[in-house]
Amino acid sequence: MTIREGALVLSDGSIFEGELIGADCKQGVSSGEVVFHTAMTGYQEVISDPSYAGQIVTFTTPHIGNYGTAPADDESRGVFARGVIVREMTRRRSNWRSVEDLNDYLIRLNVSGIAGVDTRRLTRILRDTGAMSGAFGSSMVNVLLSAAQTELGTSGVNLVTQVTTAKPYVVGRGHHKVVAIDYGIKSTILRCLSEIATVTVVPASTSFDEITRLSPDGVFLSNGPGDPEAVTGAPEVISALVSSGTPVFGICLGHQLLTLALGGKTFKLPFGHHGANHPVRKLSTGAVEITSQNHNFCVDPESLAGISQITHTNLNDNTNEGMKVIGANAFSVQYHPEAGPGPHDSRYLFAEFKTMMEER
């Protein structure tokens, strides 16, 4: 592979030299909000997760690409992340499922990246100062710095419009009828829902009347990217669904949007939760679940006092990880129970959603 020298520059002026990988950066620059992900495997699922729209993903595991890529592991129809940062891209893939190496995968999907970066130093900076904008590419450092400092980031930006489906489609043949509102839904979530229901996936802009005309037994609020407060119209639709008595289950961004629908508040974490080993306590039993997470925004539990019952808490920083709405058929979690990638400790939540639909 031809070596293409490049650099990563953060908005605070920090510079990291490296080698460009994947597709060529448009006009020599790729910019976005830089975050770090701590999972040791599952890089393809991470890169193809629509929740990374607007962001550049830094992998803390030093060797990425060891087992190549496989079509079955894609979490969406494409890649919405702005780029990837790795310490070392493995030159040779080794796995019986692999059909393509990671670099060719990035090129095919028009994703740029940079390797050879001191990701330990980069992660320490992001951990200490918080996620910040950055830019990488073949351009001069001053050009990259300018791009980093003018990057909008994710706060106040409606990134859902970039990832949601353009038209409804149906997956699965389960007994129940579920409408899944696509704010950036992952393929593994759809596989889990398909085991219990026939799922109609609808665009994020779908109205309450359009949803009710589908006569769903339940409504699923998907994961997705960015700032929940920027997803206009969603809280009003969700509020109407909750008031109607329809069973509602939300994950990640869906959890945050349910909070806004109830009149609660959300806030941005310093560097977010991005990994596959976050410990979460289920308060009703005291059991600890190891969870997969990917979010920069979080729910303020105090803003929901008397409205919802807190069900799960993050043991790393005590942030809210789940709730059940008092007096309504609605619950949600901040983490990813479908685990794509990650452990399957929390997949029981899909069974709880099924039970809620059956009881109604």
3-state secondary structure of 193: helix
Q: Let me know if 194 is exposed, middle or buried by CB neighbors in 10 A (0-12, 13-18, 19+).
A: middle
CA 144 – CA 165 distance, rounded (Å):
32
**Does 192 participate in catalysis according to the annotation?**
no
Q: For residue 58, how many other CB atoms are within 10 A of its CB?
A: 25
**Does 100 participate in catalysis according to the annotation?**
no
3-state secondary structure of 137: strand
**Does 336 participate in catalysis according to the annotation?**
yes
Maximum Cα interatomic distance, the chain, rounded to a whole number of Å: 62
Q: Let me know if 310 is exposed, middle or buried by CB neighbors in 10 A (0-12, 13-18, 19+).
A: middle
Count Cα atoms within 13 angstroms, Cβ side, for 189: 31
Question: Among all chains, which residue has been given the structure tokens 């190496």?
Answer: 101
Q: Which of 37, 176, 295, 336 is catalytic?
A: 336
Q: What is the total residue count of the chain?
A: 360
CA 291 – CA 342 distance, rounded (Å):
7
Contacts for 213-216 with beta carbons within 8 Å, 24 or more apart? 214/177, 214/179, 215/177, 216/177, 216/178, 216/179, 216/246
Q: Which of 252, 289, 312, 321 is catalytic?
A: 252
Given a contact cutoff of 8 angstroms between Cβ atoms, the answer to whether 103 and 22 are in contact is yes
Query: Residues 91, 94, 96, 97: is their CA dihedral positive or negative?
Result: negative
Residues tagged active-site: 252, 336, 338
